Amino acid sequence: MNGFPGFVLRRLAGAVVTLLVLSVIIYVVFYATPGNVAQITCGPRCSPAQVHQVAQQLHLDDPLYVRYWHFLQGVFVGQDYSTGTSVEHCAAPCLGQSYQTGREVTDIIWAKLPVSFSLVSGAMVIWLLLGVGTGVLSAWRRGRLSERVLTAVTLAGVATPVFVIGLVLMIVVCGELQLLPFPQYVNFTDDPEQWAWNLLLPWLSLALIEAAGFARLTRASMLETLAEDHIRTFRAYGVGERAVIVRHALRGATASVIALNAVTVGSAVGGAVLTETLFGLPGIGQELVRAVKVVDLPVVVGMVLVTGFFVVLANAVADVLYAVADRRVVLA
Amino acid sequence: MSEALAAVGAAGTDTTVPAAPGARQFWRRLREQRAALGAAVVVALLVLVALAAPLLTALEGQDPTTYHPDLIDSARGGVPIGSFGGASADHWLGVEPQTGRDMFARLVYGARVSLGVSLGATLVQVFVGVAMGVAAGLGNRWIDLVLSRITDIFLSLPLMIMALALLAVVPDGFPRPVLVALILALVAGWSTTAKMVRAQTLALKNLDYVSASRLSGWSTWRTAVRELLPGLAAPVITYAALLVPSNISAEAALSFLGVGVKPPTPSWGQMLTSADVWYQAAPQYLLLPALALFVTVFAMTVLGDGVRVALDPRAASRLRVGTGRKREARAQAAVPATEPKKEEGA
Amino acid sequence: MRQPSVRARRVAAASVSLVVAAGVAACGPEDDAKSSGGDSAPHKGGTLTILNSQPQEDFDPARLYTSGGGNVPSLVFRTLTTRNRENGEAGAKVVPDLATDTGRPNKDATVWTYTLKEGLKYEDGTPITSADIKYGIERSFAPELSGGAPYLRDWLAGAADYQGPYKDKKGLSAIETPDERTIVFHLNKPEGEFPYLATQTQFAPVPKSKDTGTKYESHPVSSGPYKVVKNENDGEHLVLERNPNWSAATDAERKAYPDTIDVRSGLDSSVINQRLSASQGADAAAVTTDTNLGPAELAKVSGDKELAARVGTGHFGYTNYLAFNPKVKPFDDPKVRQAIAYAVDRSSVVNAAGGSALAEPATTFLPNQKSFGYTPYDPFPAGASGNPAKAKELLAQAGHKDGLTLTLTHSNSKDFETSPEIATAVQDALKKAGITVKLQGLEENDYKDKIHSVKSEPGLFLAHWGADWPSGGPFLAPIFDGRQIVKDGANFNTGLLDDKSVNDEIDAINKLTDLDAAARRWGALDKKIGEKALVVPLFHPVYKRLYGSDVKNIVISDWTGVLDVSQVAVK
């Protein structure tokens, strides 16, 4: 099949395969990880008999392939589970229940996603402004002070781990200058204004890490465009430098910036682990780290599938956007 | 990373690559760029410091692991006694809070781990990425499909999570810095390189001179080595220059999560991890490794730019856009751009 | 064993803390803090904010592993007995809560009878009955709700194989409820410390008709001064408001000054301390129940008078130590163990743990508090920074004249207790005695599996132990009672000591219902065991915590070592 529908179908099939393989990998790796899951779940002082009961409860004694089969069943047809006092149904796609808390994994994901989206969406605006801005300046005003300062700032952003940038920002901005309250997640639906004020520093910290990539990309594509024949022609005809930069060179960079942005957003949804941890934002990344530490396999698999889904989706979106923006590209 | 991201590496290096410059030409072009030359010197110095760490600390008369409890104030959380973190003739950059270990010694020994891990990881990423990318680009439809899917899967693996899990699985005896480098390289990084290289390969293989070599009966292998790799050098090196800082950062992030290199081995990332809370009480403890990291990343980036320009003369002309009349002359001398046909993944 | 509170350091995301940090103990400078400010008398009203690192993931009284009923949980769950909410030593006493007294034992302390106070009600106004307390204990046996301390299973007669009320409708025959206000416990051996156990949340009443199994924790039915009105994301954000059916007349311990308690968790520990020190807005009325000041923050706080006045200092019964497995060579030789005890440099270990303000050097296994029966002793006097000469001499006698190479196992977590920082400090000290130490750092789960398994226990490792209640019993018995060696599960008797005289003395002390007399004998037993050099005590932690500038009525008991939220006022 050709054309756009064919592309979508192939990408979809590819995504399903990728996610399935991903879940197998996670199952195998975590099966091999040390840590007696039943003992961790039961508590450090549980007797062997109690640990055995918990293991049975969670089907931990079953062979790996049986557990994986159980997982797949949940995803495609749902599953029932007991709370002790009643039997509940977890509808497909059911990713199972947390070993630690008994909560349905899909519930946990729905609770964490808005936080991760909030973090990434705002940070995106900043990294685009800062990154593309720096890129334009460094292509246009090469060697000027403003360009050098901005380039240094973005590079410092890449070079300094987020836990250092974030903590220092918090100490200075919230503690010493008292310009902002210490960040604390507020639901967008509860209070949009507080939501934004509280997320400002997390946004800035996350954006600083990513901005340099955008700056370099913008700069490179603009320089490429500026060297092309038609731009030289424009210049020769006396088109103003500003118009050349804005109308032509920047437009030339748009396609690749959009593409990079889609991919960065996709991976940051589940990948902003350190930013979420430092600022106490209860997002996907923070939950993933918690779950890994206590070998809470259903949660780990569920979260990895979600983050994997966003990475795959973002790649597909990037390719489509790229193809739309740059007609040279053929979606095959 | 998507195919589209190939643009990051590819932008600025048109896929219409002229024959790669000879070594002499390359060095001449590199020397022409003052900034790159400066950066090269800085990088060389950093590597030298890392290699000569035992000599340098011997010169100072300290080592990175000995405790100096007399130099810290135990009642105040172990903050170094004296100004500038207890800097003195014996301890050039002061001592570490809580232990009194020598900061200078830890910084230069830390360079070994941080540079070693990041450069090592980058090398593996580039090697695996180029191999997978070229194989996917030159291979038939099925090879391409399988390799591209594998790349996608690795792309979707969350680095921090896999690192947390894998570092727990691998036996304790395995040297930790090597392990950290391998995990950084194999879980992340290479897949983006592979995607970019594949896109470049697809573009290059339709160019006249590569097609010609294929038609003239050269083996795929020979085509890859003789015709493709030189064309790939510029985008790959540009990309590698971006990988180095992200690897350094990732090493620090692993330390933050408690799974980086193990104490008492120092690394800059690990120093930053324990130092961030000391920002107010002992600022130099945080600032020294942060500065070291910044200088490294800055120098690597500038050097990467320089190398790319030296490899690709057209890039040089573009970089000088708007700097004078020479621009016109150079631009005209450049090979006219043909429209490369980029293919999207299956 | 109860886990300690979070250090003011990065605990990279949550570890399985089954624990809720309990109260704070006052001793020292914080007493001055109370007298500062104009009107220091506490008043009702306002909102108390609690900034925590660990979410209150378990909020089911069956699953909570607490010392003395926990800090936040104790606002919602009343238990048969509870800890005395007073400063210092007095706070280590057990007092009645739902019951009229701390329990009436039979002659050999195998049967304990409690009578409930009159007029006790749940948040919905229904009366609390003794059957609800029995049901609460029974459900803690369900594998779905595991997590609590092991004592009920070990002590109640015929409870070893009980699987909880969901699978076994007959219930526990060891607990009788002859009428609505009386509850009788039958134990399988004498346990004079039963009143301490009855402070744990498993002794909170749970109405059977309201039990929703694993989902109960999202809204447990309150018997205390506050009820849960919001529980977001498994305890990440809890909001507690006054329970109108709680009556101060039946509760002598909880002051319940604030109208609302807002618990925010999942915060980075250094951010918590920054917020408390800045004390802006709502943070002025904030405390933390799980985050201590770390060394870096202490360095800053100690230079600032205003901040220093807002630090609560406390001691929780807790010991960090080096443990030996005498089945592994060369640790089978007591001389080698003694040599290491002499070589250890406690001052550098204390520095690694945060300095002299955050850790006190330990030579006894029992914590240095009266309620534990603390008896000072030092069988291997090494001074503050070790005695390498004496260590070398002992090693020579043991046939290791040319030194010795050992492996020290530790965890890779960042708790500053069993973590690499402490291990490297020990490594550095033993070097002076000619002992080369190789470090074996294991990931947290791997480390716990290894040290608590008889089969894989390493020869030398870092360990810690905390008090389930302030007495020698839960401190010494799990570690040194030979009958508590677990061959096929989690074993805590890591020295694998099975000494008849020790076992007999433990049994004899358990018969005592005079807790002061028992404490003295635990102290003597500790000294006797200490001479065997199965462990090298390193340090006892000191808890220092900041609180907001509007917070009044700070009470820190020796039971929990941390500020008690049931006493705090914000107006």
**Minimum mean pLDDT range among B53-62, C38-47, C275-284, C550-559:** C38-47
Q: Would you place residue B197 in the very low, low, confident or very high pLDDT band (cuts 50, 70, 90)?
A: confident
Residue B329 lies in a domain: no
Contacts of B99 in chain C (CB under 8 A): 348, 351-352, 421, 424-425
> Is residue B27 pLDDT above 60, yes or no?
yes
The pair of structure tokens assigned to B161 is: 């999570």
pLDDT single digits (tens) B252-297: 888 877 777 877 788 888 888 888 888 888 888 999 998 998 888 8
- Please give the mean pLDDT across all residues of chain C: 90
| Residue whose tokens read 């120092």 | B266
User: What sign for the dihedral angle of Cα C61, C63, C64, C67?
Assistant: positive
Number of Cβ pairs < 8 A linking chain A and chain C:
164
Q: Does C283 touch chain A (CB under 8 A)?
A: yes
Q: What one-character-per-residue DSSP string does C17-74 give?
A: --B----B---STHHHHHH-SS--S--S-SEEEEE-SS------TTT-B-STT-SSHH
Percentage of chain C lying above the pLDDT 70 cut: 93
In this complex, which of B78, B263, B264 lies closest to C351 when CB atoms are compared?
Answer: B78
In this complex, which of A41, A280, A294 lies closest to C266 when CB atoms are compared?
Answer: A280
Q: How many residues does chain B have?
A: 346
Residue B192 lies in a domain: yes
Contacts of A156 in chain B (CB under 8 A): 294
Q: Would you place residue C240 in the very low, low, confident or very high pLDDT band (cuts 50, 70, 90)?
A: very high
Q: What angle do CA A291, A297, A300 make, to 5 degrees?
A: 55
Q: What is the CATH number of the domain that holds B277?
A: 1.10.3720.10
Name the pTM for this structure.
0.87
pLDDT of residue C544: 94
> Is residue B319 pLDDT above 80, yes or no?
no
ipTM score for this prediction: 0.87
> Is residue C42 pLDDT above 60, yes or no?
yes
Q: Mean per-residue pLDDT for A55-82?
A: 90
User: What sign for the dihedral angle of Cα C538, C539, C540, C546?
Assistant: negative
> Is residue B4 pLDDT above 50, yes or no?
no
Q: Quickly count: other Cβ atoms within 10 Å of residue C387's Cβ.
A: 21
3-state secondary structure of C516: helix
Q: Does C15 touch chain B (CB under 8 A)?
A: no
> Is residue C71 pLDDT above 60, yes or no?
yes
Q: Would you place residue B21 in the very low, low, confident or very high pLDDT band (cuts 50, 70, 90)?
A: low
Residue B81 lies in a domain: yes
Q: Where are the alpha helices (DSSP H) in A248-296?
A: 250-271, 273-279, 284-293
**Minimum mean pLDDT range among A39-43, A136-140, C93-97:** A136-140
Chain A nearest CA to B61, separation (Å) = 30
Chain C nearest CA to B294, separation (Å) = 23
- Beta carbons within 8 Å of B91's beta carbon, 6+ residues apart: B60, B62, B68, B71, B102, B103, B104
- CA distances, B280 to each of B275, C53, C544 (Å): 10, 21, 19
Q: Would you place residue C164 in the very low, low, confident or very high pLDDT band (cuts 50, 70, 90)?
A: very high
> Residue B157's domain spans which residues?
36-314
pLDDT single digits (tens) B157-168: 877 778 878 877
The pair of structure tokens assigned to C526 is: 């500790």
pLDDT of residue B26: 78
| Residue whose tokens read 């699985």 | B169
C532 or A175, greater pLDDT: C532
Find the residue in A nearest to C212 (Cα): A85
pLDDT single digits (tens) A290-319: 888 888 999 999 998 888 888 888 877 877
> Could you give the CA distance from residue B134 to residue B195 in angstroms, rounded to a whole number?
10
pLDDT of residue A13: 84
> Is residue B144 pLDDT above 80, yes or no?
yes
B258 or A60, greater pLDDT: A60
> Could you give the CA distance from residue B114 to residue B102 in angstroms, rounded to a whole number?
18
> Could you give the CA distance from residue B249 to residue C345 in angstroms, rounded to a whole number?
35
pLDDT of residue B325: 37
**Minimum mean pLDDT range among A181-190, B216-225, B250-259, C105-114:** B216-225
What is the 3 state secondary structure string of chain B? CCHHHHHHHHCCCCCCCCCCCCHHHHHHHHHHCHHHHHHHHHHHHHHHHHHCHHHHHHHHCCCCCCCCHHHEEHHHCCEECCCHHHCCCCCCCCECCCCCCEHHHHHHHHHHHHHHHHHHHHHHHHHHHHHHHHHHHHCCHHHHHHHHHHHHHHHHCCHHHHHHHHHHHCCCCCCHHHHHHHHHHHHCCHHHHHHHHHHHHHHHHCCHHHHHHHHCCCCHHHHHHHHHHHHHHHHHHHHHHHHHHHHHHHHHHHHHCCCCCCCCCCCHHHHHHHHHHHCCCCHHHHHHHHHHHHHHHHHHHHHHHHHHHHHCHHHHHHHCCCCCCHHHHHHHHCCCCCCCCCECCC
Q: How many residues does chain C have?
A: 571
pLDDT of residue A213: 81
> Could you give the CA distance from residue B281 to residue A123 in angstroms, rounded to a whole number?
30
3-state secondary structure of A304: helix
The CA R_g of chain A, rounded to the nearest whole Å, is 24
- Please give the mean pLDDT across all residues of chain B: 76
- Beta carbons within 8 Å of A239's beta carbon, 6+ residues apart: none
Percentage of chain A lying above the pLDDT 90 cut: 23
Q: Would you place residue C4 in the very low, low, confident or very high pLDDT band (cuts 50, 70, 90)?
A: very low
CB-based contact A161 B319, cutoff 8 Å: no
| Residue whose tokens read 């904030």 | C286
> Could you give the CA distance from residue A119 to residue A147 in angstroms, rounded to a whole number?
28
> Could you give the CA distance from residue A282 to residue A303 in angstroms, rounded to a whole number?
13
C323 or A167, greater pLDDT: C323
Contacts of B71 in chain C (CB under 8 A): none
> Is residue C33 pLDDT above 80, yes or no?
no
Q: Would you place residue A195 in the very low, low, confident or very high pLDDT band (cuts 50, 70, 90)?
A: very high
Residue B308: closest CA among B216, B252, B261, B239: B239
User: What sign for the dihedral angle of Cα C267, C268, C274, C277?
Assistant: positive
The answer to whether B180 and B117 are in contact (CB under 8 A) is yes
pLDDT single digits (tens) C538-560: 999 999 999 999 999 999 999 99
Q: Which stretch of DSSP H or E encloses residue A15?
A: helix A3-32
> Is residue A331 pLDDT above 50, yes or no?
no
Residue A319: closest CA among C318, C316, B208, B346: B346
Biggest distance spanned by C-alpha atoms of chain B:
79
> Is residue A164 pLDDT above 80, yes or no?
yes
Q: In chain B, how many domains are there?
A: 1
Q: Would you place residue A143 in the very low, low, confident or very high pLDDT band (cuts 50, 70, 90)?
A: low
Q: Does A161 touch chain C (CB under 8 A)?
A: no
Percentage of chain A lying above the pLDDT 70 cut: 94
Residue B340 lies in a domain: no
Residue B333 lies in a domain: no
pLDDT of residue C31: 40
Residue type at position C247:
S
pLDDT of residue A8: 79
- CA distances, B42 to each of A212, B299, B303, B345, C364 (Å): 21, 6, 9, 40, 54
Residue B78 lies in a domain: yes
> Is residue C417 pLDDT above 70, yes or no?
yes
Q: Does A240 touch chain C (CB under 8 A)?
A: no
> Is residue A332 pLDDT above 50, yes or no?
no
Pairing mode, if any, of strands C404-411 and C435-442? parallel
B10 or A86, greater pLDDT: A86
The answer to whether C361 and C539 are in contact (CB under 8 A) is yes
Contacts of B67 in chain C (CB under 8 A): 348, 351, 425, 428
Could you say which DSSP state residue C157 is in? T
Q: Mean per-residue pLDDT for C535-539?
A: 96
The answer to whether B263 and C283 are in contact (CB under 8 A) is no
Residue A24: closest CA among A53, A56, A67, A73: A67
pLDDT single digits (tens) A18-59: 889 989 988 888 888 777 888 888 888 888 888 998 998 888
Residue B115: closest CA among B224, B266, B303: B266
Q: Mean per-residue pLDDT for C220-229?
A: 96
| Residue whose tokens read 């064993």 | C1
In this complex, which of A111, A182, A184 lies closest to C274 when CB atoms are compared?
Answer: A182
The pair of structure tokens assigned to C32 is: 């001055």
> Could you give the CA distance from residue C532 to residue C197 in angstroms, rounded to a whole number?
30
Q: Quickly count: other Cβ atoms within 10 Å of residue A16's Cβ.
A: 11
pLDDT of residue A267: 81
**Minimum mean pLDDT range among A224-228, C148-152, C479-483:** A224-228
pLDDT of residue A325: 63
pLDDT of residue B103: 93
Residue B69 lies in a domain: yes
The pair of structure tokens assigned to A115 is: 């936080």
> Could you give the CA distance from residue C466 to residue A275 in angstroms, rounded to a whole number?
33
Residue B55 lies in a domain: yes
Contacts of A292 in chain B (CB under 8 A): 161, 164-165
> Is residue C32 pLDDT above 60, yes or no?
no
The residues pairing with C48 across neighbouring beta strands, listed in sequence order, are: C261
Window 267-326 of A, Cβ < 8 Å to B: 270-271, 273-274, 285, 288-289, 292-293, 300, 304, 307-308, 311-312, 314-316, 318-319, 321-323
The answer to whether A207 and A156 are in contact (CB under 8 A) is no
